[in-house]
């Protein structure tokens, strides 16, 4: 079994180099295309994924790779890399610096290591249940907030408060916390892992590569990542990250 700590320097190096590619485009005029699911994609997304795929394959030739833009390259190893080259492309296009490069490592089909790099802030968050979670080399933890009424909750897309299948449950949760803010995508999970926010919730439309890094990062920070029903289904389209004390209270609110 590979020591997960041995992957930290590689992911740090490659994430920083991917961030340099993104920053080249960040202050330039972007050409934006819409994919079949109407999500945006830019040249930066594709260039970053190509760089990461080629770099990881060179270092780990037996590992499979699944990326958002270029699909899967299947190999024989029990390990597979999951790449989201720019999580938060909509923020990237808007020149809002709340996006990141995300990489997860699966072992035997389950994510065991997660990495989020915020290229504008130069912050690298990486972790696993086995190693703990670290921000730029320093250990970080979820908050110790124990009362939902004192919590800060984050939500990527506020339109779910207007319509959508989970509207009633999400509205109940937002009414139960002290503060609700529309800060989302990987940046929201980053804030929860650092203990700066208490809850991150995304009720729909997530893809596997959007959430694969989150369980190991949250577990390494002492937190939990589940669906809105409390289980761990990374293909459900949902994400909920928080500390363990609040998770029980959130489940009671969502299941009313």
β-pair partners for 105: 81, 113
pLDDT tops 90 at residue 256: no
Provide Rg for the chain, Cα atoms. Answer: 17
Domain 4-139 -> CATH class? alpha beta
CA distances for 230 relative to 145, 165, 177, 186, 202, angstroms: 19, 17, 18, 20, 13
The answer to whether the beta carbons of residues 231 and 133 sit under 8 Å apart is no
Give 218's pLDDT tier (boundaries 50, 70, 90). Answer: very high
The answer to whether the beta carbons of residues 65 and 74 sit under 8 Å apart is no
Q: What is the DSSP letter of 29?
A: P
Bridge pairing between strands 179-181 and 152-155: parallel
* pLDDT tens string 86-138: 999 999 999 999 999 999 999 999 999 999 999 999 999 999 999 999 999 99
* pLDDT tens string 226-244: 999 999 999 999 999 999 9
Tell me, what's the pLDDT at 68? 96
Tell me, what's the pLDDT at 2? 57
Cα separation, 241 vs 113, in Å, equals 16
Q: Which residue has the tokens 């009633």?
A: 168
Residue 144, class by beta-carbon neighbours within 10 Å (0-12 exposed, 13-18 middle, 19+ buried)?
exposed
SS3 category, 2: coil
* pLDDT tens string 22-52: 999 998 889 999 998 888 999 999 999 999 9
| Percentage of residues of the chain with pLDDT beyond 70 | 99
The residues near 81 (Cβ < 8 Å, ≥ 6 apart) are 52, 56, 60, 63, 64, 65, 66, 103, 104, 105, 106
Query: What residues does each domain of the chain span?
Result: 4-139, 148-254
Give 1's pLDDT tier (boundaries 50, 70, 90). Answer: very low
The fold for domain 148-254 equals D-Maltodextrin-Binding Protein; domain 2 (3.40.190)
């Amino acid at each position: 079994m590979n020591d997960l700590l041995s992957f930290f320097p590689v992911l740090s190096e490659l994430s920083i180099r991917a961030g340099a590619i993104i920053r080249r485009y960040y202050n330039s005029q972007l050409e934006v295309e819409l994919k079949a699911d109407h999500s945006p994609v830019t040249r930066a997304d594709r260039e970053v994924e190509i760089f990461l795929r080629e770099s990881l394959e060179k270092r780990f030739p037996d590992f499979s790779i699944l990326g958002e833009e270029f699909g899967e390259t299947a190999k024989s190893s029990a390990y597979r890399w999951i790449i989201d080259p720019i999580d938060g492309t909509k923020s990237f296009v808007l020149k809002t610096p709340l996006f990141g490069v995300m990489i997860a490592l699966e072992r035997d089909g389950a994510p065991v290591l997660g990495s989020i790099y915020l290229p504008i802030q130069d912050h690298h968050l990486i972790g696993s249940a086995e190693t703990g979670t670290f921000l730029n080399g320093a250990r970080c933890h979820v908050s110790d907030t124990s009362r939902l009424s004192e919590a800060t909750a984050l939500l990527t897309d506020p339109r779910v408060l207007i319509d959508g299948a989970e509207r009633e449950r999400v509205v109940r949760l937002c009414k139960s916390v002290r503060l609700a803010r529309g800060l989302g995508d990987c940046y929201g999970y980053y804030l929860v892992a650092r203990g700066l926010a208490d809850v991150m919730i995304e009720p729909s439309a997530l893809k596997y590569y959007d959430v694969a890094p989150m369980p190991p990062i949250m577990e390494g920070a002492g937190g939990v990542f589940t669906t809105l029903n409390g289980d761990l289904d990374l293909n459900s389209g949902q994400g909920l990250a928080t500390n363990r004390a609040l998770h029980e209270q959130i489940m009671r609110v969502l299941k009313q």
